[in-house]
Amino acid sequence: MTNCLVLGGNGLIGSFIAEQLASQGHKVRAFDKFWEQDNLKSAAGIEKFKGDYLKRGDLKRTLEGIGVVFHSLHTTVPVSSIKDPLHDAETNILPAIGLLEDAVGAGVKKFVYLSSIAVYGIPEKSPISERASTIPVSPYGVSKLAIEEYVKYFGRAKNLDFVIVRPSASYGERQGFSPETGVVANFVFKALKKQALSIRGKGEAVRDLTHGEDIAKGVVKAAFTETKSRVFNLGTGKGISLNELAKKVGEAVGEKLEIKYEGSARGIQEHVYDVSRAKQELGWEAEIGIEEGVKKCVEAFREKI
């Protein structure tokens, strides 16, 4: 049994990490602002710690007695980081360095960092393996990569054990009911509100969409498995186009959806992972198929209308 701290413990992935850990008998502290819906309502055995990641004092207090830290929050997303790169760096890179220093000071044994597929940028080859070049195309991706390097530095300089996981695009019923929280939430939100879906280009962009609960299971396996590698891609390893996703959402809602194709396609067109390392070294594979995942989102979001 290990004392675990989950930063962003009320978030999509973090809340599933906290629950996974508790179900395996670990003692869990979930650190979050808890400013939106409570994703840990029914989670027994999880201590909720309300605090602000940007206040070093809050973080320091929550590190007391902790063995493993799961860092599962970022203050921006790629689009917002492009609008304000300085805010992205100031509110992610600098606090992460303070956190690593304080974790070492508090005697933390292992640091688990949730990075992102965004570190790869435009892939040279698909599917993307952990050996691919990291050339991020957003400040979000740059700061994820910078924090990865700081984690590795603290590993070398301070003997802090660590593992880095890079989730693919993740979704789930614990995301906010809003069009801003990812493509699945966006499509389901619009479908339930009977609004047309809006897709840039022809809808052929392909994503590796992974349910947050699957990502969380991979993260926990990565934290507690003795492995050769320290960096893992976590995703389904399967691509789905935006058009296919729209069809699945229409099927789950039970309606034919109107789609407005607007402008030309932008950004990365194919983001699909090679997940063989996680399969071989962690014995982990995503289990929740897109139909089931979309259905969970539709059911949960329907209740919020």
Q: What is the contact surface with ligand NAD in residues (CB under 6 A)? A: 8, 10-14, 32-33, 35, 52-54, 72-75, 114, 116-117, 167, 169-170, 182
Which amino acid is it at 146? A
d(CA 248, CA 183): 13
CB of 295 to ligand NAD, least distance (A): 19
d(C-alpha 223, C-alpha 62), whole Å: 19
Of 194 and 304, the one with the shorter C-beta distance to ligand NAD is: 304
Which residue lies nearest ligand NAD, judged by its C-beta? 11
Is the Cβ–Cβ distance between 26 and 226 less than 8 Å? no
Pairing mode of beta strands 206-207, 240-241: antiparallel
| Structure-block tokens of residue 161 | 């054990």
Angle, CA of 188, 72 and 5, to the nearest 5°: 130
At its nearest, how many Å lie between ligand NAD and the CB of residue 214? 12
Asked if omega into 127 is within 30° of 0 (cis), the reply is yes
Residues pairing with 258 in the sheet: none
Minimum distance between the CB of residue 171 and ligand NAD, rounded to whole angstroms? 7
CB of 254 to ligand NAD, least distance (A): 26
Query: Between residues 155 and 173, which has the closer beta carbon with respect to ligand NAD?
Result: 173
Instruction: Between 74 and 217, name the residue whose CB sits nearer to ligand NAD.
Output: 74
Residues in the chain: 305
CB of 14 to ligand NAD, least distance (A): 5
In whole angstroms, the minimum distance from the beta carbon of 36 to ligand NAD comes to 6
Q: At what angle do helices 242-253 and 290-302 cross, to 10 degrees?
A: 50
3-class SS string, 257-291: CCEEEECCCCCCCEECECCHHHHHHHCCCCCCCHH
- Smallest separation (angstroms) from ligand NAD to the CB of 240: 14
